[in-house]
Amino acid sequence: MFNIVEKFLSIDGEGPSSGELAAFIRFQGCNLRCSWCDTTYSWDKESICEVLNAKEIYDYIKETGVINVTLTGGEPLIQENIDELLTLLNSDDTLKIHIETNGAVDIEPFKNRHKKNNISYIIDFKLPSSKMSDKMNLNNLKIVKKNDVYKFVVGSNEDLQMAYDLIIKYELASNCLVYLSPVSGNIDMEEIVEFMKEKKINKVRLQIQLHKIIWDKNARGV
């Protein structure tokens, strides 16, 4: 059984299917406490709205009629029995599953157990302004593939420099999609663009969270 904070149909606000419809499953519980987290409500058990098993989650997704699935949280990969759900979703070739994971969990065992290409990992790297950089699993930087994403959420120039150093060191832009995503209110997007120009960063994208443009930035279920 899985503790679910919310499930809803909306557009994907970020990532490779940004702007497309997606079915969202938000799990309760996270092993990090990022300073700028915009889903702190998912941390506490008081936020649980329902408890569902893997088949019930799958049935909900199929009822939406959309093919994009975003598993988010909280942290999906720390959920007990998450492999049961991933196996079920991975068996449906019509679905494209994105797992939004916080970078603290080693994704390699999951990749080894679920090898079909309809699962992609959207991996955060927590930079200094998050106060969680020391929790990052560095193995993830080495094993990402073309259908995966590394997302650097930047809130300062220090964050930008660390992101750049990691992108270069691990040749990330050649191995997976790479995004720079601003912390709203902490850094101007112009600053990120100027940094990209200064460093001549190729194959890295500035990412704007569409759902925070369309709806109020604090809105839930969107």
Helix axes 157-169, 189-199, angle to 10 degrees: 40
Residues in the chain: 222
pLDDT at position 218 is 67
Q: What is the CA radius of gyration of the chain?
A: 17
**Is 43 part of any known ligand binding site?**
no
| 94 domain-assigned | yes
Residue 12 marked ligand-binding:
yes
Residue 222 pLDDT level (bands cut at 50, 70, 90): low
Structural domain contains residue 70: yes
Residue 37 labelled as part of a binding site: yes
16-20-24-29 Cα dihedral, nearest 10 degrees: 30
What mean pLDDT is predicted for residues 198-206? Answer: 96
| Mean pLDDT score, 19-24 | 96
The reported pLDDT for the residue numbered 204 is 97
- Indicate if the pLDDT at residue 219 is higher than 70: no
Q: Over range 182-191, report the average pLDDT.
A: 90
Instruction: Give the range of the structural domain holding residue 157, as residue numbers without chain letter.
Output: 2-214
Structure letter (DSSP) for residue 74: S
Q: Report the CATH number at residue 45.
A: 3.20.20.70
Q: Is residue 182 domain-resident?
A: yes
Asked whether residue 220 is assigned to any structural domain, the reply reads no
The reply to whether 195 falls in a domain is yes
Is 57 annotated as contributing to ligand binding?
Answer: no
Closest among 23, 79, 88, 20 to 48, alpha carbons compared: 79
The reply to whether 221 sits in an annotated binding site is no
Q: Is the per-residue pLDDT at 86 higher than 70? A: yes
**pLDDT, tens digit, for every residue of 136-173?**
999 999 999 999 999 999 999 999 999 999 999 999 99
Helices vs. strands in the chain: H and E counts, helices first = 8, 9
Q: What is the pLDDT of residues 43-80, one digit of tens each?
A: 888 788 899 999 999 999 999 999 999 999 999 999 99
- What pLDDT does 22 receive? 97
The predicted model scores a pTM of 0.91
Taking a C-beta distance cutoff of 8 angstroms, is the pair 60, 87 a contact?
A: no
User: What pLDDT does residue 14 have?
Assistant: 85
Query: Is 26 marked as a binding-site residue?
Result: yes
Three-state SS letters, 80-119 = CCHHHHHHHHHCCCCCEEEEEECCCCCCHHHHHHCCCCCE
**Residue carrying structure tokens 């990992």:** 121
> According to the annotation, is 34 in a ligand binding site?
yes
Q: Are 121 and 148 in contact (CB under 8 A)?
A: yes
Q: Is 74 annotated as a binding residue?
A: yes
Would you say residue 222 lies in a domain? no
Mean pLDDT for 117-138 is 95
The mean per-residue pLDDT over the stretch 177-192 comes to 92
In a domain, 221, yes or no: no
Is 99 a member of any domain? Answer: yes
Report the domain count for the chain: 1
Average pLDDT of 171-194? Answer: 94
**Percent above pLDDT 70 for the chain:** 96
Q: Which has the closest alpha carbon to 75: 120, 21, 25, 134?
A: 25
User: How far is residue 52's CA from residue 42's CA, in Å, rounded to a whole number?
Assistant: 16
